[in-house]
């Protein structure tokens, strides 16, 4: 269901040119009518608003019932930082965040993560942008498992593309949920974007997107 908050988030992504409509090809070689690139957020105002959307979803889903947020390098770093700020400013929830280095540092403090250092028993959540094939989540889980006896429970993302993964009838998100026991929470889904287009887009684009969804998406 396209709620007012979801509609506002879609329009926010459009205003930042993070969400674009047209003809695109994904890394998997699929033709798609929309593209999401969170690397295009570039102002303080945008990051503040973005953090607010993530924080609202985290608060609604978990409250303060977790220990820290992990933002995978590179795009997840500003997402986790923005979410941490908004959790404090909007909800009075003060939680630490951390992120990984692309290469381990062999001097100074060393290590592969920066920021909060997870402890045994910690409940960690991942703040990501978009899950397409699940590769980034698998990389994150490998990093986090090396941190010790922590529990990774939830992943928060901007958009669920609902695209089929490697298993027929299952999306990439369904696959990582089953593989790692994760719960994945999107701010919006491809179905929400489709509903928005039906209300605000042109008929040709809506029809093309419906063809894409029928071919590549698994909708619950």
Give pLDDT tens digits for 44-59.
999 999 999 999 999 9
| Residue positions annotated with a catalytic role | 105, 107
Residues 6+ away with beta carbon under 8 Å from 192: 2, 6, 10
How open is the CA angle 64-66-71, to the nearest 5 degrees?
110
Query: 81 pLDDT exceeds 70?
Result: yes
Asked whether the CA dihedral 161, 162, 163, 165 is positive or negative, the reply is: positive
The pLDDT, as a whole number, for residue 105 is 58
Q: Are strands 68-71 and 123-127 parallel, antiparallel or unpaired?
A: parallel
Q: Which two tokens stand for residue 23?
A: 């003809």
Distance CA 33, CA 43 (A): 26
Q: Which of 156, 152, 107 is nearest to 131 (CA)?
A: 156
Q: What percent of the chain has pLDDT over 90?
A: 76
For 195-201, which contacts have Cβ atoms below 8 Å and span 24 or more sequence positions?
A: 195/1, 195/2, 196/2, 196/6, 196/7, 196/10, 197/21, 199/2, 201/21
Query: 21 pLDDT exceeds 60?
Result: yes
Query: 31 pLDDT exceeds 90?
Result: no
Name the band, by pLDDT with cuts 50, 70 and 90, for residue 109.
low
Name the band, by pLDDT with cuts 50, 70 and 90, for residue 133.
confident
Q: Which two tokens stand for residue 46?
A: 């945008």
Q: How many CA atoms lie within 13 A of 89 on its CB side?
A: 13
Name the band, by pLDDT with cuts 50, 70 and 90, for residue 106.
low
Distance CA 117, CA 119 (A): 7
Name the band, by pLDDT with cuts 50, 70 and 90, for residue 136.
confident
């Amino acid at each position: 269901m396209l709620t007012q908050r979801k509609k506002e988030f879609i329009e926010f992504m459009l205003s930042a040119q993070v969400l674009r409509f047209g003809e695109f090809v994904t890394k998997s070689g699929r033709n798609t009518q929309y593209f999401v690139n969170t690397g295009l957020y570039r102002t303080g105002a945008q990051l503040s608003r973005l953090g607010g959307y993530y924080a609202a979803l985290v608060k609604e889903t978990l409250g303060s019932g977790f220990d820290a947020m992990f933002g995978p390098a590179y795009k997840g770093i500003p997402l986790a930082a923005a979410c941490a700020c908004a959790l404090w400013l909007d909800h009075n929830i003060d939680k630490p965040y951390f992120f990984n280095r692309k290469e381990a540092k062999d001097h100074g403090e060393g290590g592969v993560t920066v920021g909060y250092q997870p402890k045994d028993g910690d409940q960690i959540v991942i703040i990501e942008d978009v899950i397409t094939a699940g590769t980034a989540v698998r990389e994150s889980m490998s990093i986090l498992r090396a941190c010790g006896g922590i529990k990774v429970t939830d992943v928060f993302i901007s958009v669920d593309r609902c695209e089929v993964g490697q298993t027929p009838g299952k999306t990439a998100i369904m696959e990582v949920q089953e593989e790692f026991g994760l719960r994945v929470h999107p701010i919006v889904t491809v179905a929400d974007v489709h509903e928005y287009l039906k209300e605000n887009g042109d008929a040709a684009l809506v029809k093309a997107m419906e063809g894409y969804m029928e071919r590549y998406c698994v909708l619950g």
